[in-house]
Amino acid sequence: MKSFGKKTLMKQRLTKHATLTGALAASLLMLPGILGGTPALAQKADRDSLTYGELIKKTEKGEVKKVELDETEQVAKVYLDGQKPDTQPLRVSLLEQNTELINKLKENKVDFEEVSSANSRAAVGLLINLMWILPLAALMLLFLRRSTNASSQAMNFGKTRARFQMEAKTGVKFEDVAGIEEAKEELQEVVTFLKQPEKFTAVGARIPKGVLLVGPPGTGKTLLAKAIAGEAGVPFFSISGSEFVEMFVGVGASRVRDLFKKAKENAPCLIFIDEIDAVGRQRGAGIGGGNDEREQTLNQLLTEMDGFEGNNGIIIIAATNRPDVLDAALLRPGRFDRQVIVDAPDRKGRLEILKVHSRNKKIDPSVSLEVVARRTPGFTGADLANLLNEAAILTARRRKEAITPIEIDDAIDRLTIGLTLNPLLDSKKKRLIAYHEIGHALLATLLENSDPLNKVTIIPRSGGIGGFSQQIFNEDMIDSGLYTRAWLKDHITMALGGKASESEVFGEAEVTGGASGDLKMVTDLARKMVTMYGMSELGLVALETQNSDVFLGRDWVNRSEYSEEMATKIDHQVRTLAVSCYQEACRIIRENRALVDRLVDLLIEQETIEGEQFRKIVAEYTQLPEKPLAVEIAGKR
């Protein structure tokens, strides 16, 4: 029935095109006759014409030099003696019988001849007809071509849209991929199998049919797939998961079948499916049921990967940053046998990535890529590439020949905090912001377990940021998530330093809402300490889970994991922890008030104080706690 419906629809379209074309042709064919006809307007007498009698008289007088008789149009063209060569001949209307005129011309020995305009009129008429027929023919060809294309598109609707390369020329090798060495080693086996399959089959080993690359955005999943294709040198198919799914049911499954059919014809080969979560989501999940088209496409993909018929020699590589939403049948052995985690790089990986992206950039010798790697925990490969590109743009804008540490620092601040705005004028607002940021910076320097200060500034940034104090975080702790209780308490105390400074200097009545972001972070950390880390009087119990978001196929309503009485205790413990840290922050600010005033005056004057300069000033007033990380960073700079 579907096939019959499509044929009927195509016939209706062709009939409609033919009707329109015929009507247009009829109307166009009428135009030549209309334009070629004689106008209905009366012809005006030409002042350069003669009457029939005047022509005879002039002939008798010998004033006529030459006459051209046109019997078709009944007109004679008369050339008089003494007439200039470029003057148009006089026109005389003839009679049906011109015997008298011809005799007079013979008697006076006037040169005359008979001419006919029938041939020229026929040529002009043919030319006019051709002028309309040729565009008409071109228009008809255009309609027929569109109809043919529509028919062809309808027939090819279920064909795969995968890009195919007989020998992948991605221009990317494994040496161009840095910072994810473990993932490269896992995928090197795929390349070895495609090049030397006997090395595995000799011992009875079977290469995984599918490799799933899992990781956050920008970590290099697609780049790894390009590197595999460039190293293997085998036919390569690449497609996005969204290109399978269409509005019409059955089209996605048809495209999957066509893709694997072509892959089997070119085996051994690679198939890369980017963002596979677009087609591989859990079936039957969500409110109101699933998507029939997407589920049929997924079923066909599962069958082709490991169904009744084998697909030896075809290796499927897929990438996603949402593995939790994928269907369980897609992840079982025999389909995606192996999952390769492509996570954000560590410090050593970031250093290697920076070296790769700095190959084609002019960097000043004073720039330490190791320090840049230390200052960018959590950055992915895409973030680091963007960082060096932003630094290069700033270098060109400032008309420098090479990237310096200043451009690197500005690029990091721009990506992590925001664009720089015009500095504030010397006013009460500027001084209040200075006291707030000095409160953060001083506590970050004096607290024993806090991370060392990198810099403090009151230069405003986009997004309503009046200033900021920046720390150099211990990436070993950040990446592993193994936060100590002492570090968490000092981090909360440091976050409350800005509000504590405002309160001690200006009084509670003048405290601003600039600490709203700090309070959100404090509440989040304190709550995790109580409910997840077991760092409170409630004991060693986990009262909340890390991820409790509602998602497809899971609970629609979040269920409480504790009683109302326990919730009251949690709130009490969170508040007690935050209040104690705030009191500690106020005490430190109060005891170092003279130091705070001096640092504020210097910050207002300079607008930015680097961490090393800040620590030297603080050391003049009090004993600094030992922080090896700060010494290490200062030494490398």
Question: Which of 231, 295, 352, 437 is an active site residue?
Answer: 437
Angle, to 10 degrees, between the axis of helix 428-446 and the axis of helix 497-506?
130
Instruction: Name residue, tokens 């012809």.
Output: 43
Q: List beta partners, residue 236.
A: 165, 270
Burial 366-404 (b: 16+ CB within 10 A, else e): ebbbebbbbbbbebbbebbbbbbebbbebbeeeeeeebb
CA distance 556 to 561: 15
* Residue-wise DSSP of 90-128: EEEE--S--HHHHHHHHHTT-EEEEE--HHHHHHHHHHH
* Residue-wise DSSP of 357-423: HTTTS-B-TT--HHHHHHH-TT--HHHHHHHHHHHHHHHHHTT-SSB-HHHHHHHHHHHHT--B-PP
C-alpha closest to that of 361 among 400, 313, 409: 400
Cβ atoms of residues 358 and 314 within 8 Å: no
CA distance 634 to 637: 5
Neighbours of 605 (CB within 10 A): 9
CA distance 42 to 305: 85
Cβ atoms of residues 632 and 373 within 8 Å: no
Q: Is the dihedral of CA 478, 483, 489, 490 positive or negative?
A: negative
**Cα diameter, the chain:** 143
CA distance 544 to 146: 62
Q: What share of the chain is helix, strand, coil (3-state, %, to 5)?
A: 55, 10, 35
* Helix runs in 37-96, H state only: 52-61
Phi, psi at 302, each rounded to 5°? -60, -40
Which residues does 456 contact at the CB level (< 8 Å), separation at least 6?
Answer: 437, 438, 440, 441, 467, 468, 469, 470, 603, 608, 609, 614
CA distance 338 to 316: 11
Task: Give yes or no: 437 in active site.
Answer: yes
Q: List beta partners, residue 315.
A: 270
CA distances from 17 to 12, 155, 348 (A): 9, 19, 66
Residues annotated as catalytic are: 437
